[in-house]
Amino acid sequence: MLHGFRSFVLRGNVVDLAVGIVIGAAFTTVVNGFVKAFLTPMVGLATGATGDFSRKTFMIGETVFPYGNFINATISFLLIACALYFLVVLPVNKLHERFAPHQDVQADKRDCPACLNPVPVQAYRCGHCTSELTSPRGAPDGDIPPPAGPPADAGRR
């Protein structure tokens, strides 16, 4: 029982996820500090507050609504999202394109006469319904050899 748990915890993706969560929490603390120290006072100055937007509230009856904290959280979220996109996602995508260029070559397709699903033109058997197909369009039956494989009677002895 403990052996299975240990192998689960020590799997690469679980450890990577744990490290990512810890680094994300630390990064969130840094961004929240930046928002409170620099951006909140700038937003407060722009809106006419005395430099501290996080203390903005309004009241309905006896209930206080601290909407400044919501503004701080929104700014923090946007900063984290922008930082992750520009500092992680974009560079990783560029590296991926450089070292593994996308070569999406689509094979010509034709419809299977039995199930009407698209199959490659060169296919001799439908991958969906496994029905045998005639030779590809435009080629006489004798021009294209059948697929290599064991003879039909190889398994019968």
pLDDT tens track for 119-154: 888 888 898 898 888 866 545 444 555 555 555 555
Cα–Cα distances (Å) from 128 to 16, 30, 50, 110, 114, in that order, read 38, 53, 68, 13, 10
Q: How far apart are CA 102 and CA 6, in angstroms?
A: 38
Model confidence over 52-110: pLDDT tens digits?
667 788 899 999 998 888 877 787 788 778 877 888 888 888 888 888 766 767 778 88
Model confidence pTM above 0.95: no
